[in-house]
Structure 1
Amino acid sequence: MSNIVITGANQGIGYYFMEQALKDGNKVAVLDVDTESLERLAQLFPNKLFYYKADVCDEMQIRIAIADIIKKFQRIDIAIHNACLCTFGKETTTDFNIYERSFDVNYYGALRLVKSVLPYMQAQKYGKVIFTSSGVGVTGFIGISPYASTKGALEALAKCLNLEYASVGVTFHIIHPPLTRTKSAEPLPVPKEFMADPQKVGYGLAKHITSKRFIICHGFVQKIQTIACYLFPIKMGKLMSKMTLRYINSEK
């Protein structure tokens, strides 16, 4: 069984991932700015689930939480950065501060978590760090350039650090969930029936969390779709954007 730390698990994919991970016998510590959904699970899994009200934009809050988790768990096997900010709007209507805020949560939030857990993982000579990415970070997509840019940056960060820390037993990975019916995805002009169920995605990711592959998906179909995005990023980006625009125009 593993000791897992995850940011952004009060709802959506992260919540269901955490729930399944607990059912599988793992210990889980959650860092999130919102924690109201976690009390019920904490009662169901005493001494298995711990949660901390922590902002991934605040390095000190993360470091304090990680230090306390180490006291409780003795070690951290897996650290997952799942917290994210997704904004919507064309570049012409998106202020510079939106890009800065998106990177602060999505990219620098991941880097703060990395710098907090790596000293412990290096000392224990093993560990797994995972970033939640997105297909749009590979292909691009209309109207979400701040979000997509942060995911592309996370892809590069994971590849670089995977090379740098291979010799000490610490590996870096990317989670690629499909477009899912989460709160952050609600404003997207995409039919809800085209979006995946967050419970199915979260449960599936938890079942594959021990995978040694660089890219981790919740199921076979998503794996094939993700491979297609990597092989044909420009074509896939154009295809998805055209399909979305066609849907928007049909609703007018």
Structure 2
Amino acid sequence: MNHQPQTQNQTTSTKKVVLITGASSGIGKSMAVFLSEKGFNVYGTSRNPQKTEVLPFTMIALDVLKKDTIQIAIEQIIQQEGKIDVLINNAGMGITGPIEDTPTDEMRRVFDTNFFGAIDVMKAVLPTMRAQKSGLIINITSIAGYMGLPFRGVYSATKGALELISEATNMEVHQFGIKVVTIAPGDFATNIAAGRYHTPVFENSEYKKSYQQNLNLMNSHVDSGMNPLAMAEQVYKIINNPTPKIHYKVGKFMEKFSIVLKRILPDKVYQKLLMNHYKL
């Protein structure tokens, strides 16, 4: 469905209009609050916006797994503001488990959320951005998307796929004055672990010991993660940069350095480092 950026009855907002999916908690909420304080007109989304507390930005209903809710949300913003300047695709979910033990249907659900959900929201805003001849799409990926991590392989795959689709889309929409960039966060102190699909540690599983110790390690990383404000500050800089890079990473030094090491080390040497880290 094509969205016209405005009609005669609409007044286009003078402030930049920002749409952030998954803004009820964690990184999404931090970005939405921060950008609101910086004077942007922010619309955050969640599946059940009525459940959230009073926030300094507008919350609307959107479920990335349901295309009709995406269309309704976009049309609501266009009707209200006459435009959408920035889309931040932040909604996502985690998944852990050995590939052999993890139900394939759960893998598909995470791909539908993290990858296809982000694509469907991009598709919904692009007609408006093309008509405006301007727009910025920021896809939130993960440092985990740059490498296959044990017991997080499916999550890594969804975020790696989003990195590549963002590169492709950025080239396709360049002619319309639209930019697509990614930000890959490392471990942040959020409630992401609570929302993950955790494959159970099965008593009879061959992976029982190694998976359990890695679950403990993952949760400790999140608990000692960075402040989500760092992501909000990075987003703010990107929005204000007329010529942003294509990929950004936000994390601790070793998290970002791990990407550099993967690029320069032989595959087996790099894998050995990861396996030592995860005690495999």
- Contact 1:161 1:172 (C-alpha < 8 Å) held by counterparts: yes
Match of 1:198 among 209, 227, 231: 227
Cα deviation, residue 219, structure 1: 7.2
Q: Does 1:231 align with 2:263?
A: yes
RMSD: 2.6
Match of 2:26 in 1: 12
Cα deviation, residue 217, structure 1: 3.9
- When Rg is computed on C-alpha atoms for both structures, the one with the higher figure is 2
Q: What is the rounded CA distance, in whole Å, between the counterparts of 2:152 and 2:235 in structure 1?
A: 27
Q: Does 1:124 align with 2:139?
A: no
Match of 2:248 among 216, 227, 234: 216
List runs of 5+ in structure 2 lacking aligned partners: 1-14, 195-214
Match of 1:22 in 2: 36
- Contact 1:141 1:241 (C-alpha < 8 Å) held by counterparts: no
Alignment length, in residue pairs?
Answer: 240
Match of 2:205 in 1: none
For 2:158, the aligned partner's letter is T
- Partner of 2:96: helix, strand, or coil? coil
- Contact 1:22 1:28 (C-alpha < 8 Å) held by counterparts: yes
Cα deviation, residue 16, structure 1: 0.7
Q: What is the rounded CA distance, in whole Å, between the counterparts of 2:139 and 2:168 in structure 1?
A: 13
- Partner of 1:92: helix, strand, or coil? coil
Q: What is the rounded CA distance, in whole Å, between the counterparts of 2:270 and 2:252 in structure 1?
A: 18
Match of 1:106 among 94, 107, 114: 114
List runs of 5+ in structure 1 lacking aligned partners: 247-252
Cα deviation, residue 194, structure 1: 7.6
Cα deviation, residue 13, structure 1: 0.9
Which ranges of 4 or more aligned residues in structure 1 deviate by more than 6 Å?
Answer: none
- Partner of 1:196: helix, strand, or coil? coil
- Partner of 1:93: helix, strand, or coil? coil
- Contact 2:188 2:222 (C-alpha < 8 Å) held by counterparts: no
* Residue correspondence of structure 1 range 1-252 to structure 2 within 5 A: 1-35=15-49, 38-41=52-55, 45=56, 49-185=57-193, 189-190=217-218, 191-192=220-221, 195-210=224-239, 211=241, 212-218=244-250, 221=253, 224-225=256-257, 228=260, 231-232=263-264, 234=267, 238-245=272-279
With the length of structure 1 as denominator, give the TM-score of the two structures: 0.85
Single out whichever of 184-193 and 219-228 deviates more from structure 2: 219-228
For 1:136, the aligned partner's letter is A
Amino-acid identity (%): 27
Q: What is the rounded CA distance, in whole Å, between the counterparts of 2:71 and 2:130 in structure 1?
A: 16
